[in-house]
Structure 1
């Protein structure tokens, strides 16, 4: 019987997968073939490492195995088609030598390069982002579909078409020039934002938080900030991640149960992350043009700088969401704007905004719309309505932590109504 992978090794393979894919793709310039080869290398690692032990350099091991697999595939194709020159045309001689002998190249982290490469010029922004989330973020099709607010089948077709479009285009899958990198920067930031968001609040599964995803998004965003230190939106994105992740330790209780923002123990928040995020934001806001990531970071800063939930400056948050809503057609922004409206003008005003949002096809089946409606109905004193929507939200979420919280809260609302 093959020994099973322990949790630490599973996390290591997940962390290394995009780095290995970036290294192999950079050398072979064939995304689809490289992706297949890396998957084969990961399968080989899952079979061999528990039996033989972890190699001294797991990343280099995976790169070598993936490179061997893709070379074997190329040679097989060459033999089948009688094209002896295929390997040479696919892999330049200097890069074949680098692959075999250049240890510095093996140690290089290509993940950020891969992220830029996936935002390919022949793809629409939505297709590029979906493909990148799959290749770099390691997100499942279901998780990406939830982020895009589209059916899973639609998203699967989008990723498949994206790969085929790259293959058919004839445009090399290689590192972009400085001009191409600038053109792809917006898509790259959006990918990092979505990877972080999935890590901070997992779409599905037993855990609320996936540190492998949010930690990788933070690491890559730091790398991106070093690459373009004068870009205010990149700095804003990094600030947003820091200010949000600063609350991580307070978001769950001893048993992993979800603790909402207004009930968190703020002494558990990370003051160094908050200070770093605020400093980034303070340095970028005076530069002039303000983008959506800076606005979201400013909202996070207002929350983080409030000593208690009651001290939160909701009027300022409402104003910031108003600005953000004018920049974005994202229904989640509208949902948060409704919450801020309710906190400033009362639950009835927030519920009125939710009624309009309910007509948006992207939100009709989303559990957060029901969860917010339940919260505002509870604040308005309509406990029966609140209970019904908490239960409906619980039915619609695939996150066990969120489902447990919603059902528990519904049960707590029902408890005082029992006869003595």
Structure 2
């Protein structure tokens, strides 16, 4: 039993080595999947069958969600709706509460946009706000990063939660509702409270005399908010109405809206119709959006292959049997495994997918699949450091030293992860 876990550990170390050597994570994951399967004693034909099944099962339930989500995000970005949302919120909150405006913007923009895309879209506005208000860029930037981080870890249609939902056969609508409940308080603590503590004494007196004028060419506020939130509203509405004893055809309509693929497809079509640009330009945005996530999808597919190797080789059952004697919650154990992989591998998505195959057998009575998704998602955000691209993106954009990046970004990510664990354990007492 221990022998198989040592082989998995060796595979993870090889994966770490390949990533450190700048090998593409998709190639590294595929290679490690095959090597690990062979070392675990699986026949070569079974190894390749598991790889194919893992890729198919992982992408089958989520590829359209990822593609449509990317299209939605790019449409919102190119139309100027994301910037309009920022301007409106800043105008409402004013300079004194500027952090709250940035935080709320990050949460709203972060739902349809992937982390890297959301960061790139919002970072120029962070610098513009900091320059106009004479406030430190980190005071404005950390709320933005925290908001994008929590949506990345807890809220579909981001790749991590969607992939885990597919693997664990969890209800995406419930994950969305639970994830939003976790994201708001965690983002406030990590994005508002934390920077105020570390920057105490460095802030000049903050008045309330700052207003950004919106560009006249941007879409209206109503249109911007409506299009950005439409897929989320459809999924939440469908999920909330699902348990009601509705007659046909209303029951089918509610089920249709609760499906993330249907909700995102409707949102994309509505967004295209509401835009002032030509349909051809909108379709160009959709194509660019899908191109931007092509490698993410491939990495997720390769992660699914590694997951399937761990499942088919019964490594997950080994973990389950070894932990039965431990007085630990399966949710806590999943968080620990995902956190250890995050620290080792760097990528939150790769860590979550790698952990999924090991913790899948832990799901059962008293351990809802939706909470397992959030627990693994929280663990996958733990202690980001030099092997994470997000670490370097934050460092370079804000022109920080390594020490400063550890003291800001790394601690912020760790706060999100630890609070996410506590939130999941709290939810487990409510939903069971």
TM-score, normalization: structure 2? 0.24
Select the structure of larger CA radius of gyration.
Answer: 1
Q: Kindly indicate whether structure 1 or structure 2 has the higher relative contact order, using CA contacts under 8 Å at least 6 residues apart.
A: 2
TM-score, normalization: structure 1? 0.24
